[in-house]
Structures are given as C-alpha cells and as structure tokens.
Amino acid sequence: MKSLIVLFLGFVFLNFSTEETDKPELVNIESLSSEFYYEIRYATPNNFIGETLYDCAQCLLRPEVAEALLKANQFFCERGYLIKIYDCYRPLDVQKKMFKKVPRPTYVGNPYGKGSVHNKGAAVDITLVTLDGCYVEMGSDYDFFGRAAHIDNFNFSEEILQHRKLLFEGMRKFGFQTIRTEWWHFSYKKNLSYRTLNDPLPCD
C-alpha cells in the first residue's frame, strides 16, 4: 500500500511539473524596448479581412525571438532606420478566421495543417521606417496578395530594392528566415521547437 501511495504521488508530481514547463512563455516586446514603431493591423479593420481580429494592439513573442528582434532593431538603428511592427503572436482561432475568409495557403497558413509560425509566437510581420517614423517604400502594402509582395520580384526602383535588401539581410543576420510571397514576414529559425498556441491576447 505504501509503495502505491509513493507511486501515485510521483505520478501527480510528474504531471504537475510537465504542465508547468509546458506553459507558454510569451513576452510583450513593448516592455523590453521603446525603440519600435507599431501598426498592429489586426487590432483594426484595416486588413485583408476587413474586420477587427484582436481585442488590443500587442506584440507578444517567445523570449528568444524577442531578444533576436531587439538585436535586429539595433542593427537597423545604426543605419538610420527602425522596425515598425504589423503582427507578432497570433492565436490559432484568429488563424482559422483568416483561412475561412481567404482559403489560400500560399498567403494564409492553413490552421488545420501546419498553421502559421505566428501561432507559435515565433514570427513577425514588419517593415522599416526612418528614425522619426516616416514611411519607407517597399513596393507594396502590407498583406498585399500578389506578385508585388514577392521577394523574388525585382521589378522595382533601385531605392525599393535597397530597402528590401537591407530588411532581408538585417533580419537573416539575427536568425530570421523569409518566405517567398511576403516581404514583411520573418520566422525565427528555431520555430519548429515551439508548439502552436491559442491563448488570447492579454488585453486587461
């Protein structure tokens, strides 16, 4: 009987520890630095869905991803630019709403398949702005679904190509990877080690 009790307590402790270590750990980038600009489009109806999808405008990321983004922002700052953030962590339920509206995996990650790296808190949608927040031309608007947003499209002015080159090289330097169809999207290299999340944004 005594051995059964010990075994039971051991199981409870193991279960508790697993739940504790599995808790998602996301940090608010705004609490780490004031050197970013923000335009969280999904907290407004100004997006490809035409609906407000977030209850508040926050950028949450895995701590390791946030640290890498801070380093990238410093890199750009030394060259006369700063990062403007469009999107970070995205709950899986929001991904489902997006895919229902636009079921095109080329542009919207299938939430019933691999989903989006945004759902893991390991991807960012960004652009560059000047140090005082002025617009920098990148060749298309954010969330534009078409050839103008593709990173292998070089039919732009030299100025736009240089802006894109700086953005891509700076982000890759600190461990982020691009995708072919969206110049603004960057996934952190270790994203496969993170699990998909569906926690709502902490807006209170």
Which residues line the annotated binding site? Answer: 118, 125, 185
Six token digits for residue 58: 């926050």
| Gap between the Cα atoms of 32 and 203, Å rounded | 17
Q: Are 62 and 121 in contact (CB under 8 A)?
A: yes
Catalytic pick among 20, 64, 169, 182 = 182
Active site residue 182: yes
Binding residues for Zn(2+): 118, 125, 185
What residues form DSSP beta bridges with 85?
Answer: 38, 126
| Gap between the Cα atoms of 164 and 183, Å rounded | 7
| Gap between the Cα atoms of 71 and 87, Å rounded | 18
Nearest CA-CA partner of 45 in 143, 127, 139, 156: 143
Using alpha carbons only, give the angle 169, 58, 129 rounded to the nearest 5 degrees.
Answer: 40
Look at residue 36 and give its three-state secondary structure.
coil
| Gap between the Cα atoms of 42 and 119, Å rounded | 14
Six token digits for residue 184: 């603004």
Six token digits for residue 38: 């923000």
Q: Which amino acid is at 94?
A: V
What positions carry a catalytic annotation? 182
